[in-house]
A and B are shown apart, each in its own frame.
Chain A
């Protein structure tokens, strides 16, 4: 496994310049994600419109390059999806990160860049934290922890 497969350019770029790195003012759904092992802490905000479509999604927080890039990529991918579409993407990403599903660039787009983490079991949680957090936000909010 080459290190460049983990730290792909797109991940380095999203870590350096995270997209949608901001709060969304209420009303919106919000959840907090914690990875006590790393000290990662993410706030995820999502606003869903009357048609059940994600109108805006953002995050704030601190973490390693994998967790920041994953959250940044996530916010780009989710905007415009309906809630069921977002949940389906959550399932696919979860499968991709844990190795039960192949990374398919047609269905997950840029998020396929995260597939490299599956070779690093200790880093899978870094990439999945934001996804668990958005899952919680869409289900009404709360705090999720990887432990």
Chain B
């Protein structure tokens, strides 16, 4: 290797991936007789023992309903549940845990904003602006809102590299824009979007900003105050926590003015047939018994990320991204789709003449799990003129060896169809 090449290689990161892998029991198994290489964390990440145990311990020892009983177990459950909210609040640097609302996931969080804030504040002539690169969960709730209110949905186009077209954004975001909603990181391509530039445009237009952070939170430290957005939504299961739990963070002043979107227990202070008084934040938006174990598991996932040094983990993921881009890019006939300079550890690709679903089955036989399909981002697929892509996504528990194995399996896929 020449000196120039050596200099161009990103510095090795001091991160003990083998030690971290010991915390993830699911990774230690064979699939089709080969060691599992799980390269599908963008669809759903795996959980460390610490998360599984925290949930197990809660069910074994502490389970009762929250906010209801005076008995000991109910108090323990309430403390653990509200303790998880505090951890999440700290993790995303929310000014107050009152701004942290538990939902079923990112999708429900976005729907909450669309239905509660949107139906109150949006009307005919108003515009909701999204980007071409959105996940369906950040498209359909706004389409529904527009149908309900007579508002118009506008879409900022994308560029060939898979980025939001900022020049077009400047002409689309304007005085009619009430809300700009876009992904922090594109799930289909991995592009990290320029939040600061887009927030600036929205602020100049007097519009609010919602960030779909499902793919943001797992890959980088998120500070909702520094991002200067108004709402940030994310899911537990992509952050090494449980499925069925997610978070909507919103500015307190906005949340206070928003009406509840679901009615029931826990979201009220008093109920009579004449008048119901709603509960304070955040419980106003949490009708019914919540996913208590899910919140506790998510809190445990955050503890885990802090314990392993989340910043070092994120740096390791970037190294995997560089390595994967070079290694997969060298596979004959492989085209990487999404080539933005700032990306999270996601590589979407097409392999000449081999349909993504055939790729998925063939690499599965080599023990490798990747996602194939439209990634719930059909407009992005349509933009590139493909029905689907194959997507390898990395978490900090992945290794370069797994990427090498994927490259080898892709060569085999080409051979099958040669």
Residues on A lying within 8 angstroms of B by beta carbon are 1, 3, 6-7, 12, 15-16, 37-41, 62-66, 120, 122-123, 126
Contacts and interface: CB of A to CB of B under 8 A. Distances in A.
A123 B417 contact: no
Contact of A40 (B362, B378, B387): B387
A121 B58 CA distance: 36
A51 to B, nearest CB: 38
B358 A39 contact: no
Contacts, number: 45
A3 B364 CA distance: 10
Given A7-B362, A63-B387, 12 more contacts: A3-B362, A7-B416, A38-B388, A39-B373, A39-B378, A39-B387, A63-B355, A65-B354, A66-B357, A122-B361, A123-B357, A126-B357
Interface in B363-418: 365, 373-374, 378, 381, 387-388, 416-417
A64 B365 contact: no
Given A6-B361, A123-B361, A65 B417 contact: yes
Nearest to B357: A64
B417 A62 contact: no
11 contacts: A3-B361, A37-B373, A39-B381, A39-B388, A40-B387, A41-B387, A64-B356, A64-B357, A65-B355, A65-B417, A66-B357
Contact of A12 (B32, B378, B388, B416): B416
B371 to A, nearest CB: 12
B215 to A, nearest CB: 21
Interface of B: 32, 354-358, 361-362, 365, 373-374, 378, 381, 387-388, 416-417
Contacts of A12: 416-417
A34 to B, nearest CB: 11
Nearest to A65: B358
A66 B358 contact: yes
A3 B365 contact: yes
B410 to A, nearest CB: 14
B417 A16 contact: yes
Contacts of B361: 3, 6, 120, 122-123
Contacts of A6: 361
A66 B356 CA distance: 12
A63 B355 CA distance: 7
Contacts of A123: 357, 361
Interface centre among B357, B365, B416 (most CB of A within 10 A): B357
A12 B356 CA distance: 15
Contacts of A41: 387
Nearest to B32: A1
A43 to B, nearest CB: 15
A3 B361 CA distance: 9
A76 to B, nearest CB: 20
A38 B358 CA distance: 11
Contacts of A7: 358, 362, 416-417
B365 A39 contact: no
Contacts of A64: 355-358
Interface centre among A15, A41, A64 (most CB of B within 10 A): A64
Given A39-B373, A40-B387, A3 B416 contact: yes
B370 to A, nearest CB: 13
Nearest to B356: A64
